[in-house]
Amino acid sequence: MGQLIRRVGEYLSLVKFSHTIFAMPFALLGFFTAVADGNSSFSLKLFLLVILCMVFARNAAMAFNRFTDKHIDSLNPRTAIREIPKGKISPKSALIFVIVNSILFIIAAGFINKLSLFLSPVALIVVLGYSVTKRFTALSHLVLGLGLSLAPVGAYISVAGSFNLIPILYGMIVLTWVGGFDIIYSLQDITFDISNKLFSIPAKTGVKMAIVISSLLHTFSIAVVTATGIINDSGIFYWSGAVAFSALLVWEHILIKPGDTNRINMAFGTINSLAGVVYSLLTIADLYITL
């Protein structure tokens, strides 16, 4: 039993399961937006299927990232302690894990509706494809954002069986928000990326300009948050979440300064996870509570 628990822990670490906190709140936001729109009454079965799709897709994406980056990770002192370079999980086992989770994702999508099933391979191509983009484009940060932006859109489709402007706007928020904070996260590896000819915005533009680009992406996120509230005629809960989200992004950029990477993990992990959770939960509250 102890060995099984240890093994499960290794796979959870492999896929950084704790980072699910970035996309999951927006998936829930897309789901409850569709329910509030009157597309369907709440269904526990459908809710659990959406959660499973999120987990399976993210497991596949992260494990594939670790599989494709195994040689790169072994060279980088920051990532050499990961499960594959350390020999805790073999590349073959990681690849099998990717395939199994991909299949489970498509099966779960198939139990939702035909549109979800039809779009599931497209979603997989996007979330798996991110792992190879850093080898040829500095825009890989935005590809990561695109992958996570599918969460609110896909969850909405799961309930409504169709597209809608509001979840697409949520997706735009996620795309630029994630792209912006991934640029900040990649500041840690700028020297390594340059020496190993890997593509990232910091490696291409330098630290100062990378921070500027990140701040512009986050400014766009805040603008879309504001536009979404106006378009949706939102109430006090939404605007409270919007203000909190915006303030946290501003705080993130106050913490990050050229030449000082000591607070990157705080900015990347703590602040952004809090921003996504607060915005999503207060937006969901606004859908159902009128003051």
Query: pLDDT digits over 169-196, tens only?
Result: 999 999 999 999 999 999 999 999 999 9
Q: HSE, CB side, 13 Å, CA atoms: give it for residue 117.
A: 7
At residue 263, the pLDDT reads 79
Mean pLDDT value across residues 12-38: 89
- Count other Cβ atoms within 10 Å, centred on residue 264: 18
Q: Which of 65-74, 201-210, 258-267, 272-281 has the lowest mean pLDDT?
A: 258-267
Mean pLDDT value across residues 54-63: 95
At residue 258, the pLDDT reads 78
Mean pLDDT value across residues 25-37: 96
- Looking at residue 273, its amino acid is S
- Looking at residue 143, its amino acid is V
CA dist 85 and 254 (Å) reads 35
- Looking at residue 184, its amino acid is I
At residue 63, the pLDDT reads 96
Mean pLDDT of the chain: 93
Q: Please check the confidence at residue 21 and state whether its pLDDT lies above 90.
A: no
At residue 3, the pLDDT reads 79
Question: Given 1.10.10.10, 1.10.357.140, 1.25.40.10, 3.40.50.1390, which CATH number is that of 2-288?
Answer: 1.10.357.140
Q: pTM score > 0.75 for this model? A: yes
Residues in the chain: 291
At residue 151, the pLDDT reads 96
Q: Kindly report each contact of residues 104-109 with a partner whose C-beta sits within 8 Å and lies 24 or more positions away, as own/partner.
A: 104/52, 104/56, 105/53, 105/56, 105/57, 105/60, 108/49, 108/52, 108/53, 108/56, 109/53
Q: Please check the confidence at residue 87 and state whether its pLDDT lies above 90.
A: yes
Q: Please check the confidence at residue 17 and state whether its pLDDT lies above 80.
A: no
Q: Please check the confidence at residue 1 and state whether its pLDDT lies above 80.
A: no
Q: Please check the confidence at residue 248 and state whether its pLDDT lies above 90.
A: yes
- Which two tokens mark 49? 């299927």
E strands present in the chain: none
Mean pLDDT value across residues 3-21: 82
- Looking at residue 58, its amino acid is R
- Which value, to the nearest 10 degrees, does the dihedral of the CA atoms of residues 71, 22, 139, 260 take? -80
pLDDT digits over 99-108, tens only? 999 999 999 9
At residue 8, the pLDDT reads 84
At residue 40, the pLDDT reads 81
Domains of the chain, residue spans: 2-288
Confidence of residue 137 (pLDDT cuts 50, 70, 90): very high
At residue 189, the pLDDT reads 93
At residue 25, the pLDDT reads 95
The residue assigned the tokens 């904070």 is: 181
- Looking at residue 210, its amino acid is A
At residue 290, the pLDDT reads 78
Closest by CA position to 36, among listed 222, 233, 174: 233
At residue 157, the pLDDT reads 96
Task: Please give the full DSSP string across 86-135, using - where no structure is assigned.
Answer: TTSS-HHHHHHHHHHHHHHHHHHHHTT-HHHHHHHHHHHHHHHHHHHHTT
